[in-house]
Structure 1
Amino acid sequence: MLPPTRFRTVLLAIQQCSQAFPRQVKVSTCTTANADDYQRTGQLSGQLSGQRGPAPDGERGVAPSSPPHRVGHVPPGSAGTRQSGPHGACREVAATSLDCQCLPLSWRSLTSGGTVSTVRSSRRIERAGVNALRALLEEHDHIVQEIDGGNDHGEDMIVNFTRGGKRTPYWIAIQVKSGKKYKRVNGYAIPVEDHFEDWQQSRIPIIGVVYDMKKKELFWVNLTEQLRSVDKSPGWVQVANTSRLNADTVDAFYAEVATYAGDARMRIRAASQEDALTEAVRARRGLDPETAPNPLFEGLADFALRHEGRLHVIRKELMRSFPIQVLVLVMLWEWPRQIRFVEGSSDFISPVPWVLSLYSFMLLMALTIFFEFRAGRVPKETGRWLALIAGNFLWIPIMDPDGDRGWWGTTWMWAGILVPSFGVKFLLISFVGFARDRKKKQLQSDI
C-alpha cells in the first residue's frame, strides 16, 4: 500500500492527467488483494473528474504518454515499484512510473520524490538571534512585537518595556544580527546600510543587537545615540564585547535605555496598548509634526498619563461643583463691600465675624445641595432658601455701599446675625432627619 501522503499526491497527479487526456490509455485490472491502490486510484480520480462511481475496468485514468501496463509487467526504469506477493503477479506502480509531463513542475517534483522549495540556510542563523532575544525579553515580562519581514525598515522587533507588571511609556525598536560576518577583533559591528537617517531621526531608540552563535550570547548598542553624534553614515556601528545582554544585565539594559529615552523626550503616550504600538511604529520614521513633543509640557503630560483615571474623577467633580465655585468668586469680590457696609451701619457689631458667619452658612447650604445632586436628589427647598439669602445679602452692599445708620441698616445687621444662627440649626436637623429615615428604610428592606 502507498503511504497516505504519497497516495494523495498520486491521486492529484492522475486527476490532472485524466482531465487533460481522458480515456486514452487502458490498464488491466489487478485481481489480487494488493491491487487496492489501483482500485482506489481509479475510483477517486473518476469522482474528482466529475464521473459517477468507479471507472469501468480497463479505463483507469493515468498519464496518456505511459504505455499500457499489463498484469505482471513494470515499465523499465520505474521507481517505487514492488512485487505484490505470492498470490498474484500484479505489481504496484507508484506515481514515478507515470510519464506526467502534463503536470505542473511542482507536482512532478512531488511525484518524483524531489523537494517543492528550498529554505535559505541563513534563515536558521537569522532566526537564532531573534528567538534568543525575544525569549530573554519575554522572560522578564517585556512586551515584544516582531516586525513583518516584508515591512522591515531595518528593525526586527518593537519592544514596550514594563515595570512591576505595568507597561511604561518607553518603547524601542531592535535590529538583530546573527552570524560570523558581524564579528570583529575587538567586538562586533552592525551595518548601517541605507538606514542612517531612519535610525538617526527616529523618535524612539533604535537598538542594535548581535547574537554570537558560538558563544550563545547577545551584545547590544544604542544605534540612535551613536548615529546622532555624527553627521554622515559611518558605514558600521561598533558593538563592544562588554555590552552583554543576558538575564543578569537585562535590568541595567532597561534602566540605561529608559534613561536615554526620557532625556531625549522619546516617550509614547496612548490610552491603549494598540494605540501605543501604532504610535511606536510611526515614531520609527522620525519627526511627526502631529505628535512631536513640546518640552514645556512633557513633564505635566507624563503626570497626567500616570494619573489619568484619578484626574478624570476630579474633572467630573469640578464640573458638578461649578455653581459653588461661582458663589465663592462672588463672595470674594463682595468681601470688602460687605465689611464697609457693616462698618457704616453699626458701631457695636464687628464686621469680620458678621461677614464670616453669613458666608459660612451660605457655603454650607451650597455644599448640601452639591452632595444631594451627587446622590441623585434635587433639594428644591434648600436651593430656594440659598437663592433668597445670597441674593439679598450680596446685593445690599451694592445698593448701599457706605451702610445705613437708620432702621434699614439695623434690620440687616440683626438679620445677618439671626439667619445664619437659626439657619444652620434648621439645616442640620432637617438633613440628619432625612438621612435617618433613609437608613430605617434600608434596614427594613434588608430584614
Structure 2
Amino acid sequence: MSTAPTTGEGTATRPSRGPLTDLLTGGGRGRRILWLVLGLLFVFSFTRAVSGEEALTSSSTLRAALLLAVPIGLAALGGLYSERAGVVNIGLEGMLILGTWGAGWAGWHWGWGGAIVGGLLLGAVGGLLHAIATVTFGVDHVISGVAINILAAGLARFLSELVYVEGTGGGPTQSPSLRGDPPAISLPVLSSGPDLLGDLENTGWFLLSDLAGVLRGLTGGLGLVTLFALLLIPISYLILWRTAFGLRLRSCGENPAAADSLGVPVYRMKYIAVIISGALAGLGGVFLVFVAGIYREGQTGGRGFIGLAALIFGNWRPGGLAAGAGLFGFADALQLRSRTAVVALLLLVALLLVGVAVHQAARRRWIPAGFAGVVAAAALVGFVTIEELPDGIVFFTPHLTTLLVLSLASQRLRMPRADGLVYRRGEH
C-alpha cells in the first residue's frame, strides 16, 4: 500500500513538475497563469466591443507595442542579473547608449551581424566599468551608475565627432546607415502567405478576432533581436532559478557573506552578473539601431530608466519585468495609433482595477482595495465623459499607466536583501 504525503486536510499533494509541465497539464502555477491570460483576453475583447476601438487588439498595435517594449525589456532583463547578484544598476541607460553607438559603428562596417557584436561588446564594457567601480573599489552603486550614464553620453558624442568625419555619411550626432537589413521572420500560413490569422482578425468576432490579432502581432515580421529577446525571458528564468549557477548568483544578492563561507566566489559572480547586465542593455541598443537603420544621438530616450521601473514592477522576476515592459509598450503604441483609443484605455484600466480591488478585499487588504476602487471609479467616469484627451495627456499616457500600476503593485515588492550593499570579505 502506498504512503503518499498528505496535507493537513488529508489530501495527497503532488510536487511541481516544472512550469511548462504544469501549464500543459493544468497544475499549480501554470493553471493560474493560463486563467490570468484568458481573463485578460476577455477584458480586452469586452473593452474593444464596448468602445468600438479596434486598435486595442489589432495586430498592428501589438506589433508596435512589441517594437517599443523590446529595448525596455532587454534593459530590465540586464538589471535583473545585476540586482539579483546584489549590484544596483542605475547605469542601464548609459549601457544602452554604448550599445547603440557600438551597433551603429560596427553595423556601418560589417552589417547587421557586426552591429549585434558591437552593441553587445560596448554594453558589456559599460557593465565592466560599473563592476570595477562597485565590486572592486566599493563605490556607491547609485553614484557609479549615474557616472556611467553621463560618461556614456559624452563618450558617444566624442567618438562620433572623431570617427564620422565629412564624407562618411555620418556626423557628430548620427552614424552612416547600416550595411544591409537584419532578417525578419513570419510564421508561414498563420501570418504570411494565406494569412489565416489576418482573415480571422478581420471578422470582428468576440474573443476569436482579438486572439487572432494578438497572435498575428506576435508572429508576423519578427526581427532577429525581437525573437531572441522573447526567448530570453524563459531562458533567464531557467538559468537563475533552475541551475546551480543561478543559485550561486542569487545567493550573492541575498547573503553574500553566507555564500562566501560556502565557497561561492562572490566577487567573480558579481562581475559576471554586471557584465551580462551591460551586454543585455547593449543588445537593447542594437534593437533601437535596427529599427532606425542608423545610430542617432539621444536614441535611447530614457528607456534604461523605464526598464529599471519595469524591473521593480516585475518584483525582480523575468515574467514580471516582461509584463511591465509590455504594459508600457502597449500604452505607448496605443497613443501613437489612435488618440480616441487612449480614452478606451480608461475603461480597460477601470475593469482591471476592479479586479485588483476585489482581489485585495478578499485578502482583507482594505487600503489597497479602497485605493484601487476609487481610481477605477475615476477611470470609468473619465471614459463616459471624455471624448478626446489633450495632446499632452495622450503623450504622457504610458508614463501615467506605468506609475499607476507601480503604485498598486508596491505592496508585494521584495528586492534582494543585499541589493545595493557594498560587500567586503570579513566585514560582514
Q: TM-score, normalised by structure 2?
A: 0.21
Larger Rg belongs to: 1
1 or 2 for the larger relative contact order (CA 8 Å, sep ≥6)? 2
Q: Which has the higher strand share?
A: 1
Q: Which has the higher helix share?
A: 2
